[in-house]
A and B are shown apart, each in its own frame.
Chain A
Amino acid sequence: MPQRKDLNKIMIVGAGPIIIGQACEFDYSGTQACRALKELGYDIVLVNSNPATIMTDPELADRTYIEPLTPEVVETIIARERPDALLPTMGGQTSLNIAVALAESGALENYGVELIGAKLEAIKRAEDRELFKLAMERIGLEMPKGGFAKSLDEAMEIVHQIGYPAIIRPSFTLGGTGGSVAYNVEEYKELVTRGLNASPIGEVLIEESILGWKEYELEVMRDLADNVVIICSIENLDPMGVHTGDSITVAPAQTLTDREYQRMRDAAIRIMREIGVETGGSNVQFAVHPDTGRMVVIEMNPRVSRSSALASKATGFPIAKMAAKLAVGLTLDEIQNDITGETPACFEPVLDYVVVKIPRWDFEKFPLADIRLGTQMKSVGEVMAIGRTFKEALQKGLRSLEKERYGLGADGKDRFPPFPEDDPHPEQSRQRIREGLRVPTNARIFYIRHAFRYGFSVDEIYELCRIDRWFLQQIQQIVALEDELRQAGKLELPKHRELLRRAKQFGFSDVQLAHISGMSEDEIRELRKQAGIVPVYKTVDTCAAEFRSQTPYFYSTYELENEAAPRDRKKIMILGGGPNRIGQGIEFDYCAVHAVLALKDEGYETIMVNCNPETVSTDYDIADRLYFEPLTFEDVMNIIDLEKPDGVIVQFGGQTPLKLALRLEKAGVPIIGTSPESIDLAEDRQRFEKLLASLGIRQPEAGTAFSFDDAKAIAERIGYPVLVRPSYVLGGRAMEIVYDADALKAYIDRATEVSPEHPILIDKFLEDAFEFDVDAIADGERVFIGGIMQHIEEAGIHSGDSSCMLPPYKLTAADEAILRQQTETLAKALNTVGLINIQFALKDGQIYVLEVNPRASRTVPFVGKATGVPMAKIAAKVMAGRQLREFSLPDTSNHRHMSCKTPVFPFNKFTGVPVYLGPEMKSTGEVMGIGDTFGEAFAKAQLGAGFRLPLFGAAAISVNDADKATVIPIARELARLGFRLKATRGTAQALRAAGLEVGILHKVNEGRPHIADAIINGDIQLVINTPLGRESRYDEYAIGAAALQRNIPCLTTLSAAAAAVQAIEFIQKQPFSVHCLQELYENGQ
C-alpha cells in the first residue's frame, strides 16, 4: 500500500518532561517519527513542553510548539494549525492520554483530525484493564485472576476470592504509579486507598499474585495490510514483582523453548489483532509459571515505549521510525531495512549477541526512600550493554552504570570479603546475603555473587530470589573464573594468557582484574596489549550476519574477527553522557547530539560512544559510527586505539566523559575545545580562588577543609550559614546548608563516607540572594553570551531544581553589564574554547561568582530554545576550529518574549520522602513556558510541570520569621485576586497586623485538624510554605506530602510565590496564547 496522499499536515505530541517512567526514549521515538514523516513529505506540527529534546529543535518539524501538554492547550494548537491527523503513539502515556481526552471531548472531530497509529477504540481496549480483560477472554488467553474495584469495599470482596499477596494497580497511571503488593489486610487497605487516589478515574485492579513467575515482553509491529512481526523478545532477569523498568532485562529471551516462544508469539499477534492496533509498534507483557509453564498476559501498550526504544537499540530495527511510516499507510514490505540496505523491513530481527539492560537508581538522593523494588518504578535511568555472552554483557552493563562498580563486584567495593574464611562473622553475613537475595533492591545482583562466594548453591539462591537458574549459573561461572583469577595472583605472560583472554570474554574489566591480581589498571592494560588481547568490534546488523550491513553500529567483544575497519577521514569522537540520573539527563544528550550534527555538517566523520539505550545519541542514524559501549577509561581507550580520532569531545556529555578527561589527555588523546586542564582548574577551589582574586572577581568567602577542626575554623571565620559539599560533584550531590557547628559535624561524618579521597568545601551561604545562570560560547578571542537566566527561587536551591526566567525579570542594566563583563573575563581567563556556564549571585547590590563550568551545562538546550541560537552546534564547530565571527549571531540582550524553565520532581514515586528543595538536586526533568509576560510564562511552565495554578479558593500560608515581612505584599495580592487567606499562627499575626483578613490553621504539632488535614480535605488550593530550619521540618514534610497527594501547588520560596501570584492574575484574565518557535525566531528576538 502506498503512503497516504489525503494527509498533508500531521501533529505529533511529545511526552513532556523527563520523569521516572518516561525519559529520553520518547525524544528518540518522537525525533524518529518527525524525521521519517518529514522525509515522506508531510508537514509536521510538534508539541512538547520539554525544551531539552531534539524533537523540539526547530529544524525537525515545520511548526514546533513548546507548550504545556494538556488537552486544552493542544486543542488550541489544533485550532490554530488544523492538522489532518494526530499521531499519538510517540509520546508515551502523556500523549496517548491527551489523544483520548481530545477524541472523547469531540475536539478531534470538530477540527476534522484523524487519529493515526492507534484509534480511540484500540487505545481504550488496551488501556482500560476491564476491556482488556474481556478482549483476552474472547481470544482464549489467560490473565491473572482478579477484578476491578472503585472502592475499598469492592476491593475487599475481590481479595477474599484471590487471597494474599495481592497486586494492586491503579488504572490509567504511568510507570506503575501507585502500584503495589499487599501481604496482609492492613497493608492491603492502605495500598488500595493510595491506588484509588493515584488513579485518575479512581479505580484499581486487584490481581492474584504471580510474584516469582518469569516475565517476558514482546515488541510487536503491525501494518495496515495486517502483516505482523515480532521485533524483539525480552526476558526479565528479575521475576514478576519488580516493575519491568526496575528489572534487569535481557534480549533475546533465554530460557524459552521454541514451542514456548511461538505460543507467546501467536498470543501477541492475536492480541494486536483483537485490540485492533492497526499500525505501529506495541509491547505485550507475559508471565510464565516456572514450574508448570502456565502463561498469562500481563498487559499491552499500544504505542512505542521504553521497551521499544531498548528493542530498537538491541536489534537495530528502528521501531518508532517504522511505526511512523506504517501510520501513514506504508506496509512493512514496502520499507527497507536500513541496516542491511538490501532486505525489507518485513522480517523478524535475529541477534547473535546478548543484550542486557540494567536500571540505574539514585536512592542516595532520597535517603529516606524505600529502596525495595516493587511494582512502582523507581529507577531514573538505564544502560544497555551488548556482549557475545550474557556474562560479558552483564559485566559491561554493570560498569556502564557509573555507580563506581566495574563489573559484578571484585573491584574493591564489595560489602563482604571474597572468602567466608576471611569473614569474622560468616554466619551473620550469610544471613544478610539471604535477606539481600529475598528482598529485591538495587543491590540484589551483587548479592548473588556474594552468595556463590559464601557457598550457596544455585538451587538455594533460586529459592530465595526466583531468578531463573540459567542466569544464576551464568553468574556462577563469572564467580568461578574470579576464583581462578584469585588463585593465579599476579598475572604473567605467557603463563596466564588464556586465563586473561577468558576473563575478558567473561566481561571482566581491567579495574576488576587489577583488583583481583593486586596489579594496577595500567599494568593490566599493558599486559593485555602485549598478549594481543584487545577487543574486536562486531556489528549490530538485525540478521546475525546473514546479510551484509551498511550501518556501522558496533559493540566490543573478545573474539577472532574485528568488523570495525576505521576509515581514513578526518574524524571526531563525541563521548555521550551515559545513563540518565538526577543531575545529568537529556540535556547532555541533546548537547552531544548537536555536537555530532554540527561536526557532520563541517565534514567530519563523527563517532559516538554511549551506553544509554533511551537516547537520540545512540540512534545509529545520528553519528557516522556508533559504538554502544561503557564510558569507562578502558572501553573508551580501546575504541580510540582502533579509530585514532583527530579530536575527542568530552565537554558535552556531562560529568561522565569529564571524569575521563584528564586521564585521556595524559594518554595522549587529542581532546579538542577547552582543555581538561582548564576544566579542572575551574573545579579546583583553591586554584580557582586564586584566579578570581587575580581577576578582581568576587566569590562568596570559602575554604577547603581536610578535617572537622579545619571546617569549624573556616565556618567561624566566614560566618554561618555555610554551604558544605565534597569536591567534584554534579547535581549538588551531598551538598547542604548548615547553620551551626553541630550540624557541620553531623554533615562531615556523613559526607566523608561519600568520597573519602576528596576534601570538604565550605562556602559562605548567601541567604536571600538572587541567582543567575549565564551560558556563553568562547572561541579564545571572542565571547558570545547566549542567555542570562534569573532563578525564581533564591540562592540555596540547586540551580537544576530552580525555576528560571530568560531574560531576567529583575536585573538592572548596570548589573547585567557586570555579569556580561565578568563572563567574558572568566571565559578568556580559562582559555575557553566552546561552551561555558557561570552561576552568579546578587546580594545587596554585590555580584558574586558561585561556580564556573567551562563545558556544556544543563541550561544549554533551554537557552537554545528560548533564543533560537543553536548554542551547542556553534560551540562544537568552534571547538573544531571555527571562529565566532564566522557565524551570524543575534543580539541576545533584546527579547520579545519571556521563557520560563521549571523543574519536575519524582516525589510522588518515593512516598515518605520530604518534599522540599535544597542545594542537592532532586528534579528529574524540566519544562518550558513561553509567554509575552512573566506571569504567562510562569503559569505555562507550572502547567507544563503538572501544577494547575488555582483561579480561586483558599491559600494556606506558613512562612519563617525572615519571610514574614516579605510575604505581606504577596498575601495582599492574593486577597485582591479573590483568594481567602489562611495561615499558621505566627504568619497570621503578621498578616493581620498588615490589615489582612486571615483564618488560622494549626501547625501539625499543634493538634488537629491541622494544616495538612485542611489540604487533604480539599479546603486549600494553594500553599506557600517556606522552611524554618530544623524544628519545622516535620510540618514541612506533612504539608508537602499532603499537597503532593492532592496535586496542589506548594511554593516553598517567596519569589516563587510572587511569581505564582503574577501567573494567577494572568490566567484569571485571559486564556493562554500559543507560540510557534519558527514564528518566534523569524520575528526575531
Chain B
Amino acid sequence: MKDYKDAVLLLDDGTLFRGKAFGAVGTTGGEVVFNTSMAGYQEILTDPSYKGQLVCMTYPHIGNYGINASDVESVRPQVSGFIVREGCTLPSNWRAGDSLDKYLQQAGIVGIQEIDTRALTRHIREHGAKRGIISSEEVRPEKLRDRFETLPEMQGQDLVRHVTCREAYEWTEPLPETWYSAFERLEKAHVFERRHLVVIDCGVKQNILRWARSIGFRVTVVPAFENADQILRRKPHAVLVSNGPGDPEPVTYVIDTLRQLIGQTPLFGICLGHQLLGLALGGRTFKLKYGHHGGNHPVKNLLTGKVEITSQNHGFAVDPGTLPKNEIELTHVNLNDHTLEGFRHRNLPIFSVQYHPEASPGPHDSGYLFHELQNMVLNRSE
C-alpha cells in the first residue's frame, strides 16, 4: 500500500488528531465542519459555499467512485481542506476518471485521512464549530499553534467576494438527462423561452443554474457586486440570489441590492441567498452551533404539511422572530432543530429556502421549488 506522510489536524481548542496526508501535502486552515452525506463528495468539494472550511466527511470510505468530469458544482474544488477516515486509491465506477487523492493533489487541496472522524464529529457537536489547521508539513502541534492568529473566525467574514464571478455570463447547460429525465416534468419549458432569470452569484452551485435552464429560463449569472440598477437593466423576469459561503451579515452590498429589488422583480433566495433576503427584509441572522451539512434533514412544508428530505449546507440561520410578521409568512421548518427553513412574502412575489432544492448532492424531494419559481413568474406575466 502507498505510504502516506504523517499529518495532523489541530483545533483551536488544542485538540489534536494524528493521521496521514491525503491529497496535496501542505498546511491549510479553516473552520472545521462535518458533512453526513454518504456519497456526493465531489459535489461537496466543488461547492463554493465551503470556502474557508475544512470539511470532515462522517462516512468513513470516501473516494470510492473516483472523480468524473460532470458531477461538479463549480470548476474547481472550493473547500479549504478535506478530512476523511479512509481515502480510496483505486476508484471503481463506470464514469470514474482520476482518483480523489490525485484530484486533490492537482487542485492543491490539503487533506488528512486515517483519523477518528466520528470522534471529531462528536467534538464539534458538543463544543461547536472550531477553527482547525491541517498540516502534512509540520506535525508538531506547538509549531502550528501560532497560525491560528492569522486564521479568522467564520463570523464576520465576507467570503462571497472570493467566490463570486468576475463578469456576468449566460448559463446554457441543462440538467443531465441520464439523471433527471424520467422524473422531472419539464413540459412547460417551451413557454419559458423568453423568460429571463438573473442569478446573483454569491458562490452559486451549478446545479441551481442547470435547474433554472431546464425549466426554460434564459439564465444570466451576475457578480454579487452588481447593484439593483444594473440588474434591473437586464430586464429579469425574476432574480435568484444564490447560495454561498460564510456569514451573510458582512455581505452588505448584496443586502442593499436586494432591498432595492424588493417589489421590483420576483425574488427567490437559496441558502445564503435566503439569509441575505431575510436580512434585506429586516430580519436577523445568527450562527448555528455546528450548522447543517448533509443530505438527510427533514423539512416540513407548513403550507402542505408534507415533509421533504433535504440537502443542507449552512452555518448561519435566519431568526424567524425577527422577520416582520405582517409581511412574511414562514413556510418551512426544520424538524430536527426547528430552525427556519423557508419563508415567503405575503404580498410580493418573494420566497426563499434555507436548504438546497437543487440537491447535488442529496435527495430530489425539493425540486418542486423551481416549479414554484416558474409558476410565480408565469402568474405575474400572464
Contacts and interface: CB of A to CB of B under 8 A. Distances in A.
Contact of A350 (B37, B116, B305): B37
Nearest to A476: B90
20 contacts: A257-B95, A258-B43, A258-B295, A258-B362, A259-B176, A262-B179, A262-B362, A266-B364, A267-B183, A344-B335, A349-B296, A350-B296, A351-B38, A352-B121, A354-B60, A389-B61, A481-B1, A544-B294, A548-B125, A561-B122
Given A346-B335, A477-B1, A545-B125, A255 B298 contact: no
With most chain A CB atoms within 10 A of its CB, the pick from B88, B183, B359 is B183
B307 A332 contact: yes
Given A347-B296, A347-B297, A544-B58, A559 B116 contact: yes
Contacts, number: 181
A548 B61 CA distance: 23
Given A293-B94, A546-B125, A560 B61 contact: no
The 5 closest A-B pairs by CB, nearest first: A258-B40, A258-B361, A561-B119, A560-B116, A544-B58
A390 B336 contact: no
Interface of B: 1, 17, 34, 36-40, 42-43, 58-61, 64-65, 68, 71, 85-86, 88-95, 115-119, 121-122, 125, 176, 178-179, 182-183, 294-298, 300, 305-307, 309, 335-336, 359-364
Interface in A900-922: none
A480 interface: yes
Interface in A460-498: 468-470, 473, 477, 480-481
B360 A258 contact: yes
Given A226-B306, A347-B336, A350-B37, A255 B182 contact: no
Contact of A270 (B34, B119, B183, B335): B183
Nearest to B360: A258
Given A350-B36, A543-B36, A545-B58, A257 B93 contact: yes
B88 A343 contact: no
A257 B42 contact: yes
Contact of B38 (A139, A267, A350, A548): A350
B36 A333 contact: no
Contact of B86 (A226, A389, A546): A389
A752 B160 CA distance: 76
A266 B183 contact: yes
Contacts of B183: 263, 266-267, 270
Contacts of B122: 545, 561, 563
Contacts of A547: 125, 336
A346 B65 contact: no
Chain A CB count within 10 A is highest, among B58, B60, B122, B360, for B60
B178 A293 contact: yes
Given A226-B306, A347-B296, 15 more contacts: A258-B37, A262-B361, A262-B362, A266-B182, A293-B94, A293-B178, A333-B298, A333-B335, A343-B335, A350-B59, A388-B85, A469-B92, A545-B118, A545-B122, A560-B119
A458 interface: yes
Contact of A470 (B39, B60, B64): B64
Interface centre among A257, A389, A469 (most CB of B within 10 A): A257
A469 B115 CA distance: 25
Given A347-B296, A350-B59, A352-B58, A263 B179 contact: yes
A255 B58 contact: no
Contacts of A139: 182
A768 interface: no
Contacts of A544: 34, 36, 58-59, 118, 121, 294
Contacts of B43: 258
B306 A227 contact: yes
Contacts of B59: 252, 350-352, 544
A458 B91 CA distance: 12
Contacts of A894: none
A141 B182 contact: yes
Interface string A133-156: 000000111000000000000000
Given A227-B307, A473-B90, A293 B296 contact: no
Interface of A: 139-141, 225-227, 229, 252-263, 265-267, 270, 289-293, 332-333, 343-344, 346-354, 388-390, 458, 468-470, 473, 477, 480-481, 538, 543-548, 559-561, 563
A257 B65 contact: yes
Given A229-B309, A253-B39, A258-B37, A469 B116 contact: no
Contacts of A266: 182-183, 364
Nearest to B40: A258
Contacts of B182: 139-141, 263, 266-267
A243 B219 CA distance: 49
A936 B180 CA distance: 60
A347 B294 CA distance: 12
Contacts of A267: 182-183
Given A227-B306, A350-B37, A470 B92 contact: yes
Contact of A348 (B61, B90, B94, B309): B309
Contacts of B362: 258, 262
Contacts of B300: 333
Nearest to A545: B121
A352 B335 contact: no
B95 A293 contact: yes
Contacts of B93: 255-257, 260
Interface centre among B39, B68, B335 (most CB of A within 10 A): B39
A291 B94 CA distance: 5
A559 B118 contact: yes
Contacts of A353: 60
Contacts of A252: 38, 59
Contacts of A538: 118
B307 A346 contact: yes
A90 to B, nearest CB: 24
B36 to A, nearest CB: 4
Contacts of B306: 225-227
Contacts of B40: 257-258
Contacts of B60: 352-354, 388-389
Contacts of B117: 352
Contact of B305 (A225, A257, A480): A225
A256 B65 contact: yes
A349 B361 CA distance: 16
Contacts of B94: 289-293
A685 B335 CA distance: 64
A257 B121 contact: no
Contacts of B297: 347
A262 B71 contact: no
A333 B59 CA distance: 25
A1046 to B, nearest CB: 46
B12 to A, nearest CB: 19
Contacts of A473: 88-90, 92
A351 B57 CA distance: 11
A544 B1 CA distance: 28
Given A262-B362, A347-B336, A470 B91 contact: yes
A315 B146 CA distance: 42
Nearest to A462: B92
Given A258-B361, A390-B61, A544-B59, A333 B71 contact: no
A121 B362 CA distance: 32
A350 B42 CA distance: 18
B85 A261 contact: no
A256 B116 CA distance: 24
Contact of A256 (B39, B58, B89, B335): B39
Nearest to B44: A258
Nearest to A542: B296
A347 B299 CA distance: 9
Given A333-B335, A473-B92, A354 B65 contact: no
Nearest to B85: A388
A480 B1 CA distance: 7
A1063 B297 CA distance: 59
Contacts of A351: 38, 59
